[in-house]
A and B are shown apart, each in its own frame.
Chain A
Amino acid sequence: MSESDDKKLHWLYRPENRKKLWSLQIVLLVLAVLPEFFVHHHAHFPEQDISIDASFGFFAWYGFGTCALMVVGAKLLGFLLKRGDDYYDR
């Protein structure tokens, strides 16, 4: 990167803005959960006596939890499966 680029570093990349970006994300997460206080979800499987999907904030924690699982799972599988990108050319 040349010096002139450094000077007009895009605001997204300025260190002082990192905190603002994180706060923005937290605000979005809170906004997404807020309707939980006003809306009652319908359960998808009432006949099977499953109502977890209608409980408070289910989609929020399920989304986070399953994604975290997939990231960690991929990371672990990576130890087994990852090879250098010239693996097949050697």
Chain B
Amino acid sequence: MIANTVLPPSLIIFIAAGLLFFIPQRWRLVPIVLAPVISLALIWMTPLGDNLKLAYLNYELLPLSVSATSRVFATIFSLMLLFGGIYAYRQASLLELMAAFVYAGSAVGVTCSGDLFSLFVYWELMAIGSTLVIWAAGTEKAYQASMRYLCIHLMGGVILMIGIVAHVFQTGSTQFGAIALDGFASYAILAGFLINAGAPPFSSWIADAYPEASPSGSVFLSAFTTKTAVYTLMIAFAGNDLLIYVGLFMVFYGIIYALLENDMRRILAYSIVNQVGFMVTAIGIGSTLALNGATAHAFAHIIYKALLLMSAGAVLMQTGERRCSHLGGLFQTMPQTAINGIIGALAISSFPFTSGFVTKSLETSAAAYEGLTWVWFLLLAASAGVFLHAGIKFPWFVFFQKDSGKRPDEASGNMRFAMWVFSFLCLAIGLFPSAFYTILPYPVKYEPYTADHLITQFQLLFFAGFAFFALLPLMKRTLTISLDFDWVYRVFAFKLSKAFFHLYWSVDTAMRQAFLKRFYLAKDYLVAHEPSGIISRSRPSSTMVIWVTVLLSVYLIFHFL
């Protein structure tokens, strides 16, 4: 049954999740560090291919199938869990830590799933784990957001399940590999994946739910759901033109909404959609360079997005404030958090010498190599836009702009440690790209550090920055949110159903009353006319004789009078 005796890395992480419950708080760091480290070792020790085959009904389950792509994703998921765990362990609740481990373990599980059934089970576990992470924030708003989040993901799960069942029924194979986009089953699977990627129309769940989690909760959330979706899209649907359009929409959706947003963590949440848009576009392009780009970008993105959310989380932790309009000037008393936030912001903007510069450029170059002119020009504009909405906007409004007068203390040691490590990784990948390129699924023949690339990137970014400061008056922070597609089901559908039921009940009442009226009329009529009713009752002839006797007697009496 077992070909190569190796443990699934997700199992180790699940065991650690359970252990956390029994271990006293001061020992919690042990499983938090050990489980991801063991998982990392297992990922690289497990040979490529299907390592575990289990029989299930008439099908074969492959819960430990490792490919070059899945290795990269499982690696970054484990790294994320390790440093996210260190960032979280002192202030996060036990529920949050356990949920985060289940969440991360199932994300690793998805990347190691060789069949659609295992994938689906991990997929749903991920939805439950992430919902509990949001829930663990313990506020009413977080609870409501988590329920909306769960509804979307359960719906996505059902659509995915329908697709999987139809696919298995049609092809007879449960294998998870490239799926041709030709018919109902494949579109349902694609829709299930895309919902988790934050594709339109369901992009709003990211900015709705993630910012309501605890400071560390949103760090975990930023990493796993959308990037497992990127992984599954890459395996199943690479090279489909449709994904180019979807990805480009996400890229600009993220920028526009982040520009409108006032909540610092929602800015970063919208920017997740933007970044995943780049990856989805690259998957749509589908060349090996593009897929390398999407993989590398996902890896780098998880690090710098987590770093940005760690820095935002530290600010939230120390000030209790998320609104840009109420923040500013924090660099004075939180310099380390500010520096780390800025490094993350530079990395997400693909600033030269950071991880974004050497990873995202693979994707844009792929568009150029494939001759996709307009895709390239749009991605270039979007790259400038990233600097605008995340690269400058986030650090500027949180740490600089006007002085809010807030003088919070620096974040706690474990939080700062995690941030410094991720900053280090952002710079290390940026400075030594060739070492990083070796773990990518396909061989890389790409040199990011050419004079041309450096000069053009500096020009693009500096002038994007100039646009930001020149147009700053247009971006004055307001205490607002922006309507999104979720308005349709949160307000419109609600009001519509309320109006419908109002009408329904009033018609129902009128009909019942009309019916009852007729019913009583009929009843009265029947009471009067039924065989035993007052009118139609048959009377015995003796009564008649008595009455005739009475009448005759009365006559007789009158006669004698």
Contact = CB atoms under 8 A, between A and B. Distances in A.
Interface in B463-478: 463-471, 474-475, 478
Nearest to A74: B259
A5 to B, nearest CB: 7
B456 interface: yes
Counting chain B CB atoms within 10 Å of each CB, the highest count among A25, A47, A72 belongs to A25
Contact of B256 (A12, A66, A70): A70
B482 A71 contact: no
B215 to A, nearest CB: 20
B395 interface: no
B467 A71 contact: yes
B459 A57 contact: yes
A19 interface: no
Contacts of B455: 32, 35-36, 39, 59
Nearest to A10: B332
Nearest to B382: A66
Given A60-B463, A67-B384, A85 B262 contact: yes
A62 B384 contact: yes
Given A10-B332, A83-B481, A32 B384 contact: no
B452 interface: yes
A13 B483 contact: no
A41 B452 contact: yes
B170 interface: no
B380 A62 contact: yes
Consensus secondary structure, chain A interface: helix
A81 B373 contact: no
Given A13-B403, A78-B260, A39 B452 contact: yes
A81 B482 contact: yes
Interface in A23-52: 25, 28-29, 32-33, 35-36, 39, 41-42, 44-45, 47-48, 50
Nearest to B405: A1
Consensus secondary structure, chain B interface: helix
A78 B256 CA distance: 9
Contacts of A74: 255-256, 259-260
Nearest to B256: A74
Contacts of B451: 35, 39
B250 to A, nearest CB: 15
Counting chain B CB atoms within 10 Å of each CB, the highest count among A57, A63, A66 belongs to A63
A72 B459 CA distance: 21
B474 A45 contact: no
Interface string B478-513: 111111100000110000000000000000000000
B329 interface: yes
A82 B480 contact: yes
A45 B376 contact: yes
Contacts of B474: 71-72, 75
B180 interface: no
10 contacts: A33-B459, A48-B371, A59-B455, A63-B384, A63-B461, A67-B387, A68-B470, A70-B252, A70-B259, A88-B491
- A-B interface, 5 closest residue pairs, ranked by CB to CB distance from nearest: A67-B467, A66-B381, A63-B463, A74-B259, A59-B459
Given A45-B376, A88-B490, 15 more contacts: A32-B455, A36-B455, A59-B463, A62-B381, A63-B462, A67-B385, A68-B470, A68-B471, A70-B259, A71-B468, A72-B474, A80-B483, A81-B260, A81-B484, A83-B483
